[in-house]
Amino acid sequence: MASTNKPFSKLLLLSACVLAGANLTACGPAVLGGTALGAAGMGAFDRDETVLLEKNYAAADYLIQQADAFMNRRYDLIIVEPLTDTTQPLASPDINRRIPEQIGVRLSQLGYRMDLSKVAGSVETNYLKPTITKGETPDFILSGNSTRRGGEMDVSLRIVDIKEQRVVAAFDYIIEINSRDLRESAKPKPKIMRLEN
């Protein structure tokens, strides 16, 4: 093989690295912008929505740490119920379906069989829908309640073993409702009822 000029090849390699580094530095925000972290940092996602999702995922992780000893991930079915508003039980704010939906999605990501049919906000809810055989009944229920206090909401969650009639996991936490979207989502929706004489 022909001899190469080593100082020249080292200089060429060094200059290529410097140019590549300068190029990446200049494009840093654009590269980060393609990730959720970069998009959140640039203001593409509502901060309160991101915090809500983080808290709900953390709640799911905490709940399942308690309940895992009582469950069989592969066979047990968990049905998710909307939260009950403690001050207006007949009212049904959107957030009372969104919170358990996000928790159910997280549990689905962890490999649990979840039935989110009562809380799924849209057909596009991103979770692994389990195959439910005809006549199959759920083994566990994820439910809870919420109480709105000004700019905050107290959330109490429970996972109940239906057959044994016992609580296998419980977690309570507070959500701040600062953004306009979350405040609207937390407003009770009145139900129109017809009374017959």
pLDDT of 170 > 70? The answer is yes
DSSP 112-145: -EEE-TTT-SSTT--S-PPP--TT---SEEEEEE
DSSP classification of residue 194:
P
Helix count and strand count (H, E) for the chain? 6, 6
Q: Which of 147, 153, 180, 173 minimizes the C-alpha distance to 49?
A: 180
Q: For residue 35, what are its two tokens?
A: 């990730």
Position 124 confidence tier, pLDDT thresholds 50, 70, 90: low
CATH topology of domain 46-186: Rossmann fold (3.40.50)
Q: What's the mean pLDDT when you consider all of the chain? A: 76
pLDDT of 32 > 50? The answer is no
What are the domain boundaries of the chain?
14-45, 46-186
3-state secondary structure of 185: helix
pLDDT of 36 > 70? The answer is no
pTM above 0.75, yes or no: no
Q: Is the CB of residue 127 less than 8 Å from the CB of residue 116? A: yes
Q: For residue 12, what are its two tokens?
A: 């060429």
Q: For residue 195, what are its two tokens?
A: 């009374």
Where is average pLDDT lowest: 48-57, 66-75, 165-174, 186-195?
186-195
pLDDT number for residue 21: 45
